[in-house]
Structure 1
């Protein structure tokens, strides 16, 4: 499969972190920009991520980027806290290069960041949260216990750096950021799409229901039969459906409450 051409760019966050990103021009709506936020240990340069960008570029221009501590970006990951600054830099870039409507598609950690960003910044026109957690510190599945081992143990952080090129910040959150399900209640009237697989081995479907139930209209919930977790399990057909939902629901003609 050949991918659409992308144009690398280096962004800078409000706290001074360099963010590696790329812009893929639209093959669809000229006014719509779609920002893609990857999951923990991911990168926009991964083949799976580039496949997703290629599909979404059929609906709008795509800005994909590496969160801090990932890939070619600077800094260290805080696993969902300060990453809202990274996403905001990408959203601002999409506006600067001419997209009047900007939507965000987040996967796993990126889904949590996308929901929190929409609540804190009110700067996007639609949000799709795919395979995201509803609450922090979840350890109810083996993969999530492994994630916590990587985050909390020196040998785990070393392994993440060596194997996944992911640099993890030491220490605990202080303060603990707003949980995704709490943030979901604050983003209306921005449309929210929650997508989750019934075969997700990281977060069971009650996470999706908790986010969806906390959100106000407009909102939509897709529980996908047989779908696993995040980018690696997402089929082109599912991504096309997400792109079509964004194209239908993203509009700049919304009034936010004071």
Structure 2
């Protein structure tokens, strides 16, 4: 056997791996809802017409909270937090982003079009429960919440748990940290670019840090894990510095990315409730 078939097979394997990785990072595996859920199942269109699914916990007289899950997740991620907040008297609306959970859509864009989903969910929450409304987002959900709040003045407060400053910088950091062999990093970058082509967006479009100043004079609560392995300390500090007053900050001791609510459940709930009590008033 000559070398040509081996070389060709190796090239084919590499290209196949790059293609699969690029497809998978913008086409998440869908996570199902719990078998039994509290609340009313609802469907509503995003601003571009994509049909989204959610849960409305509308009993109660308190303000309305919109909860936004992270990348490769579904509304099951903040579901138990939503129940806890609902039991404190808040009306709670959870939903699946496009291409996640039970919502329609084929591609995740890590914030580029998810901001349309947050805006649509905000309007649906106001239609059902009236105002005022606050948004709590986790990771990608936090990034989308920040960008949506800058455009939607009816969002009165934002809780941003583990929001990245800019997606392109995050991806570059993940390649540098997550691909230990330098020779393989160009392949990782190629898979990222091909994924952008599949999903028709650019990571450079997703820069929540540029929207922070437009949230003020409304309040924002930034939450980060002390040991976040996904977001660089530089991105975290940039977000903290660019956020305008009124702002609050909690660095959760010992927590990794988006894990504060699981590592410190009672303190997390108390801090969120305290923030909302100060800034989300009828």
TM-score in terms of structure 1 length: 0.80
Q: 2:207 aligns with which of 168, 171, 179?
A: 179
How has the CA–CA distance of structure 1 residues 236 and 151 changed in structure 2, closer, same or farther, with 3 Å as cutoff? farther
Match of 1:5 in 2: 38
Aligned 8 A contact 2:67 2:93 in 1:
yes
Q: 1:55 aligns with which of 84, 92, 95?
A: 84
Deviation at 1:85, TM superposition (A): 1.1
Write 1 or 2 for the structure with the bigger share of helix: 2
Deviation at 1:42, TM superposition (A): 0.8
Distance 1:14 1:251 in 2: 27
TM-score in terms of structure 2 length: 0.73
Deviation at 1:185, TM superposition (A): 1.2
Q: How many residues align?
A: 234
SS in 2 for 1:185: helix
How has the CA–CA distance of structure 1 residues 17 and 26 changed in structure 2, closer, same or farther, with 3 Å as cutoff? same
For residues 139-178 of structure 1, the aligned pairs below 5 Å read: 139-141=172-174, 145=178, 153=191, 170-171=198-199, 173=201, 176-177=204-205
**Cα deviations across residues 55-107 of structure 1 (Å, max 9, x unaligned)?**
22134111000000111111122111111111111111111112321000010
Match of 1:17 in 2: 50
Match of 2:103 in 1: 73
Unaligned segments of structure 1, at least 5 residues: 158-167, 253-258
Distance 2:82 2:91 in 1: 9
Deviation at 1:208, TM superposition (A): 2.8
Deviation at 1:39, TM superposition (A): 0.4
Unaligned segments of structure 2, at least 5 residues: 1-35, 180-186
Match of 1:220 in 2: 248
Q: 1:197 aligns with which of 206, 225, 239?
A: 225
Aligned 8 A contact 1:127 1:193 in 2:
yes
RMSD in angstroms over aligned alpha carbons?
Answer: 2.9
Match of 2:265 in 1: 236
Match of 1:107 in 2: 138
SS in 1 for 2:211: helix
Structure with larger Rg? 2
Deviation at 1:180, TM superposition (A): 1.1
Instruction: Confirm whether residue 121 of structure 1 aligns to residue 152 of structure 2.
Output: yes
SS in 2 for 1:93: helix
SS in 1 for 2:53: strand
**Cα deviations across residues 129-169 of structure 1 (Å, max 9, x unaligned)?**
001101222232469858xx999749x97xxxxxxxxxx97
**Cα deviations across residues 172-194 of structure 1 (Å, max 9, x unaligned)?**
52594351111101111110110
Aligned 8 A contact 1:135 1:179 in 2:
yes
**Higher relative contact order (CA closer than 8 Å, sequence separation 6+):** 1
SS in 1 for 2:78: helix
